[in-house]
Structure 1
Amino acid sequence: AFMRTGLDLYANIRPAKTRIGVPSAVENMDLVFARENTEGFYADRSMHMGNGEMMVTEDVAIAIRKITREASRKIAEAAFKLAMQRRRKVTIVTKRNVLKMTDGLFHDTVCEVAKSYPEVEVDDVIIDAMTALMVRTPASFDVICTSNMYGDILSDLGNELAGGLGLGGTINAGDNHVMAQAVHGSAPDIAGQDIANPTAMVLSLAMMLEWIAAKEEDNKLMEAGHRLGVALDAQLANTSTCTQDLGGPLSCKEFGEKLVRRLEEEA
């Protein structure tokens, strides 16, 4: 949280994509979440000082949610720029039918930004309906623009539907800085066993390289990020070159070594 707020990494970008050879609960999913990253219901991000949660009595707890026009505008800009590079559709996800002020402000701000991108189709889905639609019609979505907690939950759902959290790459990005971060947690239950799937970490690295390349206009870095993603897709397409969680025989180290050899052979 300190790095996200301290470096103003306001955009949490999380793709969820089905891949050839990877067992998945749905088909034809290729979407990306543009999740606001610096405020919302998270207690460590909603206050200048102190904590956004409090116990008003021994039996009553309260959490404060912060939504600002500026943070909403910035994640909206990030979402529409992404959409312009993809299939030109943005879905705004809120609970504005209930949280009329906070989600209303977020929704209205994103709609205001949308006026600058007339080429992009915009639709609006309530979050509980969104969970069902991601399962039923995942191919209908391109870029999902949403607030912090909704994006956290929906992106985990998306990656699990696409094959598992071990496949979920992420970057936290701002105007001047970027940080790679896999969707999954630290998985202490398998620590030291050499069985973790490193795909999410590698995808996060590829995304970070492409972000830096775009900012610095560095074609070599862009090619490196692209090649890494292509090599990873090729490796995941064959069960014999996958880790054990995907039905393959490889350890974490073996998966990494095989990926390096693939990159060297295709150089």
Structure 2
Amino acid sequence: MPTENTAIMMGIITREATERVARVAFDLARSRRKKVTIVHKANVLKLTTGLFRTVCREVAQDYPDVTVDDFHIDAMTVHLVRRAQDFDVIVTENMFGDILSDLAGEISGSLGTAPSINASADRAMAQASHGSAPDIAGRNAANPVAMILSGAMLFERLAARHEDPAAAKLAKIIEAGVAEAIASGTSTRDLGGSASTTEFTAAVVKAIEAGAGQR
């Protein structure tokens, strides 16, 4: 703040970091629906997010089997609400990604269902997209889906990094347990149910144990 009435924010986009996150996005797309959407604001932030879009497009050339499109961040919020089913992997910079991830979580039914993982080249940390949710802390009311699935994402990350099929299998078991618990009719209040945090977690554990008997 050069004066008490003026605040300046600097945005830094590097080719190295952009290329790394772009390759993660395209590698992920190959295991999914083979589609990547680049989100930017290159019409206004021409140098910073313009570089981001350019580098992502350059990386895309190494993935000819993946379909690529791009949108400005403001337009993307509209498209995501209107036709979320048309998108799969979205790659963008940090602030835009923070906004879109919360929007995508709510579109899926509740922000409480949105897992996340923060990963560098050699470190990873899993956490729920919604953060600590202090407004319901200590009330046994939080939806644990996001946190449970964040753990599954961490196992997926470890599986890919260490070529460990056991970790990949464990991630699938956790995901299946969550899906089965919800399908059986158990859900927390944000999803229209009445289960507490511990009750839903117990339902997931039960589903996993039941599935273990079939494997």
Q: TM-score range by the shorter chain?
A: over 0.9
1:224 maps onto 2:189 in alignment: no
Aligned partner of 2:114 among 161, 168, 171: 168
Aligned partner of 1:233 among 179, 194, 207: 179
Normalising by structure 1, what TM-score? 0.77
Aligned partner of 1:111 among 31, 34, 57: 57
1:190 maps onto 2:136 in alignment: yes
SS in 2 for 1:151: helix
Q: Is the CA contact (8 Å cut-off) linking 2:178 and 2:204 kept in structure 1?
A: yes
How many equivalent pairs are there?
A: 212
User: Deviation at 1:76?
Assistant: 0.7
SS in 1 for 2:8: strand
Give the ranges of 4+ consecutive aligned residues of structure 1 lying more than 6 Å apart after TM superposition: none
Aligned partner of 1:266 among 207, 211, 215: 211
Structure-to-structure mapping, 1:46-57, within 5 angstroms: 55-57=1-3
Query: What is the percent sequence identity of the aligned residues?
Result: 51
> What does residue 126 of structure 1 align with?
72
- Structure 2 CA distance for aligned equivalents of residues 189 and 122 of structure 1: 39
Normalising by structure 2, what TM-score? 0.95
1:255 maps onto 2:194 in alignment: no
Aligned partner of 2:126 among 172, 176, 180: 180
Unpaired segments ≥5 residues, structure 1? 1-54
- Structure 1 CA distance for aligned equivalents of residues 187 and 145 of structure 2: 10
> What does residue 30 of structure 1 align with?
none
1:243 maps onto 2:173 in alignment: no
- Structure 2 CA distance for aligned equivalents of residues 249 and 165 of structure 1: 17
- Structure 1 CA distance for aligned equivalents of residues 54 and 33 of structure 2: 23
Letter in 2 for 1:228: I
User: Deviation at 1:177?
Assistant: 2.2
Greater share of strand: 1
Greater share of helix: 2
User: Deviation at 1:143?
Assistant: 0.8
> What does residue 16 of structure 1 align with?
none
> What does residue 154 of structure 1 align with?
100
User: Deviation at 1:210?
Assistant: 1.4
User: Deviation at 1:60?
Assistant: 1.2
Structure 1, residues 88-118: CA drift from partner, whole Å, max 9, x if none?
Answer: 1111110101111001111111111111111
- Structure 1 CA distance for aligned equivalents of residues 159 and 112 of structure 2: 25
